[in-house]
Structure 1
């Protein structure tokens, strides 16, 4: 087995071990000998590639940082299906401005709650958050610089992906950026991501935040409802930067396009998921 193959198998084995349970602040819970066993490679080949285990763990930190993808914890397809189920039960509300406002409000409420729970339960997200804390404790040098640069690239990908999601849904629902708000979809994504991350961190030590609901009507919708904390934050961000686009015409073609985006057919039923 070549040194390159040994390296790849060792790093893949260690990544799998980390992703199974999440990273703590540091790598003390990962046994070098367990990684060798899991990778199925010889100790001689491993120590030829990494004479000291600290060198391996430095490479592992780089690998984790390069592959860190905080947005991947929540499947976009699942979010679209969830929004589609909301639309299916309230499609008649598309007929009026107030109805569309109430529908968007409900979409914000349920999707924010779903995303929050999925991220809180994700080992990948816990690893990502731990990496953010871990790199701050690294001594100055190439390793710290490499990890910081990789995390910065991951943050940029995260903001871009979330911004595209917000823009796609906002446009489909007939909303636009408020002309005088100074906002942008990347700014919305940054604020939403920071709020989500803060609440996820708090919920790790205070699980009650996962189920806490506040009776509220943050968007002046038709009626109050029980809102998760992250939903209230999302509604505040949306209300600050978004408004109905007065140039949008809600005709049959637009309704059909919205249903298609959210996985619904022309009758409002969920379309079949493609074979994977």
Structure 2
């Protein structure tokens, strides 16, 4: 269905857009506004008339698609749930881990050396991940979208939002599980035999711990932003750890053990393979 827009200021013929084009413009404009304001704006703060102006469409055509703000808000929530859940992963985690492991080939050959490396990776990456999370517009919007489900009164719009969030969460956890499996097996660690949840449970617990601290940071950053003396990593000296890194180290120590069948000579090739999968180059020293 084509909908005619109002005449332009320069007197040219009016443009015509389909309902789907208008819908797309409105949703994009709304999500752009949410992305800029983050949780300080929130979805209830959206003003239909402001979104209409930003989208460059006519008011009458919008209200032929959504005859109330509530219907529009339901579609915005669902679109946000879909879009922001696909932007939750920390794209810096794997390159950072590759660089750290590549920089210390002298630690690859011994179990103690590899344990020191995995601790340093956890210490650095989890601190990076925590602060990346609290500064992330997509995460803030994901949190706001999830919080909207608390008002669930059984309506269809929120049911769709909940399903979209679940699907996005499944994709996120699957990606995190794959990352942690690749990283820990790279350095010769495996899950304890008694744990049946596999890397999926490992990823769920780790990501939930980071996100829980991020939520706590919103109300009381003094609790989450302190650093604490923790176990040594690359040297024998105690090092400073962020709470997120300490929490994840506890999960790692509980879930993983050294693989007695691991061959250290595989680290070099696997580092190269991981780097190639993400288009990341690093100085990888061959110690074979």
Q: TM (normalized to structure 2)? A: 0.84
Counterpart in the other structure of 2:165 = 151
Within the candidate set 47, 51, 66, 1:35 is matched to 51
C-alpha change, 1:158 and 1:83, in structure 2 (3 Å) is same
Counterpart in the other structure of 1:21 = 37
Q: 8 Å contact 1:13–1:39 — kept in the other structure? A: yes
Counterpart in the other structure of 2:5 = none
**Distance in structure 2 (CA, Å) of the matches to 1:46 and 1:183:** 47
Deviation at 1:21, TM superposition (A): 2.2
Counterpart in the other structure of 1:58 = 74
Q: Which moved more, 1:253-262 or 1:192-201?
A: 253-262
List per-residue Cα deviations over 1:210-260 (Å, max 9, x = no partner).
Answer: 5311102289x9442111101111111111111111111112x43232255
Q: Which moved more, 1:138-147 or 1:228-237?
A: 138-147
Instruction: Report the secondary structure of 2:87's partner residue.
Output: helix
Q: Which moved more, 1:40-49 or 1:177-186?
A: 177-186
1:137 lines up with 2:155 in the alignment:
no
Task: Specify every segment of 5 or more residues in structure 1 that has no aligned partner in the other structure, as ranges.
Answer: 269-276
| Pairing 1:1-276 to 2, within 5 Å after superposition | 1-23=17-39, 26-69=42-85, 72-76=87-91, 78-209=92-223, 211-217=225-231, 222-251=236-265, 253-262=266-275, 263-267=281-285
Instruction: Report the secondary structure of 1:186's partner residue.
Output: helix
Alpha-carbon RMSD across the aligned residues, in angstroms, is 2.2
Q: Which has the larger radius of gyration?
A: 2
**Distance in structure 2 (CA, Å) of the matches to 1:183 and 1:229:** 25
**Distance in structure 2 (CA, Å) of the matches to 1:166 and 1:113:** 16
Q: 8 Å contact 2:88–2:172 — kept in the other structure? A: no
List per-residue Cα deviations over 1:10-50 (Å, max 9, x = no partner).
Answer: 11111111122224585232111111011111112112212
**Distance in structure 2 (CA, Å) of the matches to 1:218 and 1:133:** 39
Q: 8 Å contact 2:268–2:285 — kept in the other structure? A: no
C-alpha change, 1:255 and 1:267, in structure 2 (3 Å) is closer
Q: 8 Å contact 2:102–2:284 — kept in the other structure? A: no
Instruction: Report the secondary structure of 2:154's partner residue.
Output: coil
Q: TM (normalized to structure 1)? A: 0.88
Q: 8 Å contact 1:112–1:230 — kept in the other structure? A: yes
Instruction: Report the secondary structure of 1:72's partner residue.
Output: coil
Task: Specify every segment of 5 or more residues in structure 2 that has no aligned partner in the other structure, as ranges.
Answer: 1-16, 276-280
